Structure 1
Amino acid sequence: MAASPIVFITGASSGIGEALASHYAAHGAVLGLAARRSETLQTLSGKLMQLGAQRVACYPLDVADAAALDAAAVDFIATTGIPDIVIANAGVSSGTLTECKEDLAIIRRIFDTNVYGMAATFAPFIEAMREKARAGLPGRLVGIASVAGIRGLPGAEAYSASKSAAITYLESLRLEMRPSGIKVVTIAPGYIRTPMTAVNPYPMPFLLPADEAARRFARAIERGVSYAVIPWQMGIVAKFLRLLPNAVYDRLFANAPRKPRVL
Structure 2
Amino acid sequence: MSQTVFITGASSGIGQALARQYAAQGATLGLVARRVEVLHDFVQTLPASMRSRCHCYAADVRSADSMRAAADSFIATAGLPDVVIANAGISVGTDLREPGDLKAFAAVMDTNWMGVLHTFQPFVGPMLARAMPGQPGGTLVGIASVAGVRGLPGAAAYSASKSAVIKLMESLRVEFSPRKNRPGLRVVTIAPGYIRTPMTEHNPYPMPFLMPADRFAQKAANAIHRGVRFTVLPWQMGIVAKLLHVLPRWLYDMAFARAPRKPRKPEIS
TM over 0.5: yes
What does residue range 39-58 of structure 1 map to in structure 2 within 5 Å?
39-50=37-48, 52=50, 55-58=53-56
- Report whether the alignment pairs 1:121 with 2:119: yes
What does residue range 133-172 of structure 1 map to in structure 2 within 5 Å?
133-134=131-132, 136=135, 138-172=137-171
Following the alignment from structure 1 to structure 2, what is the Cα–Cα distance between the partners of residues 138 and 46? 31
Residue 215 of structure 1: SS of its match in structure 2? helix
Q: 1:242 aligns with which of 238, 242, 245?
A: 245
Give the aligned partner of residue 27 of structure 1: 25
Tell me the TM-score normalized by structure 2: 0.94
Alpha-carbon spacing, 1:48–1:134, altered in 2? closer, same or farther (3 Å) = farther
| Higher normalized helix content (fraction of residues) | 1
What does residue range 95-114 of structure 1 map to in structure 2 within 5 Å?
95-114=93-112
- Report whether the alignment pairs 1:193 with 2:192: no
Q: CA deviation at 1:42?
A: 1.0
Corresponding letter in the other structure for 1:236: I
Following the alignment from structure 2 to structure 1, what is the Cα–Cα distance between the partners of residues 105 and 229? 28
Structure 2 residue runs without a partner (length 5+): none
Give the aligned partner of residue 185 of structure 2: 182
Residue 188 of structure 1: SS of its match in structure 2? strand
Residue 140 of structure 2: SS of its match in structure 1? strand
Identity within the alignment, %: 59
Q: CA deviation at 1:88?
A: 0.1
Q: CA deviation at 1:53?
A: 5.2
Q: CA deviation at 1:68?
A: 0.9
Following the alignment from structure 1 to structure 2, what is the Cα–Cα distance between the partners of residues 134 and 37? 37
Following the alignment from structure 2 to structure 1, what is the Cα–Cα distance between the partners of residues 237 and 76? 40
Q: CA deviation at 1:23?
A: 0.2
Q: CA deviation at 1:132?
A: 2.3
Tell me the TM-score normalized by structure 1: 0.96
- Decide whether the 8 Å contact of 2:109 with 2:157 is kept in 1: yes
Question: 1:55-90, CA deviations, whole angstroms, 9 ceiling, x for partnerless residues?
Answer: 111111110011011111111111101100000000
Q: CA deviation at 1:138?
A: 3.0
Alpha-carbon spacing, 1:140–1:59, altered in 2? closer, same or farther (3 Å) = same
- Number of residue pairs aligned between Structure 1 and Structure 2: 261
Question: 1:15-46, CA deviations, whole angstroms, 9 ceiling, x for partnerless residues?
Answer: 00000000000011100000011210111122
Following the alignment from structure 1 to structure 2, what is the Cα–Cα distance between the partners of residues 137 and 175? 14
Q: CA deviation at 1:107?
A: 0.4
